[in-house]
Structure 1
Amino acid sequence: MKNFLLGIVLLLTAPIHPAHAFPPPERLVYDATWNGISAGSAVIELTRQEDGFKAVNTIRSAGLVSTIFRIEDHIESVMSADGRPHIYRASINEGRHHTRNEVVFDFKGLQAETTDLVRNTRKKEAITAETHDDLSSLYFLRSRPLAPGTSILFDIYDGKRLWNAEARVTKRQQLTTRQGTVTTVVVVSTLKANGVLSKVGGTTFWFSDDTRHIPLKMKTKLKVGEMVLTLK
């Protein structure tokens, strides 16, 4: 998740408290489309753990898209009480591409240790105090004040590299949903690595314009086309 720049830039490093903005349990179910074609479904869940929170994201393809390019992804983020990621697990199955990684974050030593469960390898890389994983970053954004004209800067470590993320709050916009027309806050995210902008992975979010900032719609750039998730 990754783009943001316009107006005033806010570098927000304070800890987050997910339960304050959206008390768990929370379960969000989405219809997925790829280039306008029905592609399957996605579920994002947040539950309370003894000493923090656990978020789980599953994406499964269906129909015609599944016969062409099957997707079955399962991502977990175990977060501490302040919302920082502790353990990140990703099982990615997309077409012929299969990966299984586990990342353990050490914020005292500012390191992340990644275990590749397919190749049975390990590596350690430096992170920053503002680092999140792919999934915890969504809750980080939701916990922030989303004022149009501001930007939020943070980092994302996905087990491969450290990305510099910028989330730009662009405007308020009316969005027609199954429940009717609602006011949303539009946030555009981008990622950079070593100063180079990523051509994929940038996401546009339509968050509900309230304290929960529910992601009603998400549009992500892919290598081929784009994926859109719309809340059921």
Structure 2
Amino acid sequence: MNRHSRLLPIFLCALLLANLKAQSTNNPPVLPAPHQGLGLPAKQTLSYSVDWRVFPAGTVTFHQEAEGDAQHITVVADSIGAVNLIYRVSDRFQSSFDRRTGCSIAFSKQLQEGRRQVNSTLNFNYAQKKAVMEEKNLVSGISRHQEAPLPGCVSDLLSAIFYTASQPLQVGQSFQVPVYDAMRTIPVTMKVESREAVKTPSGTYQTIRVQPTADAGVVKNRGNIWIWYTDDERHIPVQMRARLFWGTLTFQLTGIDSK
């Protein structure tokens, strides 16, 4: 239960890269530039319920806000109910990327999971072609500094969800996103699979289903990931699902606030 509950509130892309067999690359795919008018609101807050199998497990809030050429994203994830009693999780994530190019600027996280408390920041220095990570364990007091080559324009784990919304999403087509995680670049293919009607607590939506996969393929018998975006220019992710070997996690939209 301990391993499972730690993952429950964490957003979909973290689950994606934890459950795909992928190889890092020094020649990542070129990140397509965002399309003007698609999926990048000036200000928006999306709230989700998170279920593990049939049990309520957590709540997640994604807040987006534009500032000049930067798109800022903040995520608050908290466990609830029985999971909260067994293993409390309260995580915070921030990322930002360039609205013109899609290139990630920075990614940070503050994790409080049971007795574990870790803060980290990851900055992308394209001029010097390197990524710089600073991490501190607040319980042990141990700090870690790490640098690694940055082969080109990349997306981070959190930005990738909303960067994908900036693309046309034509059924039957796919595109690649170079996602940077664990100080390496992993090519992730976004397969635009079908159109579906999806019912969530906030309403029923006409959607486009996207399946992220790594070039090396999904780990055999481990799981699959899907994201359902609204079939309009907003491309709001109204549902996200990770079907894993230990159960299924489902994120469903409960509310939208554009103020």
TM-score range, shorter chain: 0.7 to 0.9
Report the Cα distance in structure 1 between the residues aligned to 2:113 and 2:245, rounded to whole angstroms.
12
Report the Cα distance in structure 1 between the residues aligned to 2:112 and 2:36, rounded to whole angstroms.
29
SS of match in other structure, 2:32 = coil
Report the Cα distance in structure 2 between the residues aligned to 1:104 and 1:177, rounded to whole angstroms.
35
Query: 2:74 matched to 1:52?
Result: no
SS of match in other structure, 2:162 = helix
Q: CA deviation at 1:41?
A: 0.7
Query: 2:149 matched to 1:126?
Result: yes
Please tell me the residue identity of whatever aligns with 1:108. Answer: A
Q: 8 Å contact 1:75–1:91 — kept in the other structure? A: yes
SS of match in other structure, 2:165 = helix
1:212 to 234, 240, 257: 234
Q: CA separation of 1:207/1:117 partners in 2, compared to 1, >3 Å: closer, same or farther?
A: same
Q: 8 Å contact 1:84–1:136 — kept in the other structure? A: no
Q: Percent identity?
A: 24
Report which stretch shifted further, 15-24 or 44-53: 15-24
Q: 8 Å contact 2:198–2:204 — kept in the other structure? A: yes
Q: CA deviation at 1:201?
A: 8.6
Report the Cα distance in structure 1 between the residues aligned to 2:46 and 2:165, rounded to whole angstroms.
14
Q: 8 Å contact 1:175–1:183 — kept in the other structure? A: yes
Q: CA separation of 1:94/1:223 partners in 2, compared to 1, >3 Å: closer, same or farther?
A: farther
Tell me what 1:94 maps to. Answer: 113
SS of match in other structure, 1:138 = helix
Report the Cα distance in structure 2 between the residues aligned to 1:12 and 1:162, rounded to whole angstroms.
12
Tell me what 1:8 maps to. Answer: none
- Structure 1 gaps, min length 5: 5-10
Please tell me the residue identity of whatever aligns with 2:52. Answer: W
Please tell me the residue identity of whatever aligns with 1:89. Answer: S
Render the CA deviation track for 1:41-73: whole Å, top value 9, x for unaligned.
100001122442210011101111111232211
Render the CA deviation track for 1:57-99: whole Å, top value 9, x for unaligned.
1110111111123221111002234232111101123345443
How many residue pairs get matched? 224
Please tell me the residue identity of whatever aligns with 2:55. Answer: I
Report the Cα distance in structure 2 between the residues aligned to 1:163 and 1:91, rounded to whole angstroms.
23
Q: CA separation of 1:163/1:150 partners in 2, compared to 1, >3 Å: closer, same or farther?
A: same
Q: CA deviation at 1:102?
A: 0.4
Query: TM-score, length-normalised on structure 2?
Result: 0.76
Query: TM-score, length-normalised on structure 1?
Result: 0.84
Q: CA deviation at 1:105?
A: 0.3
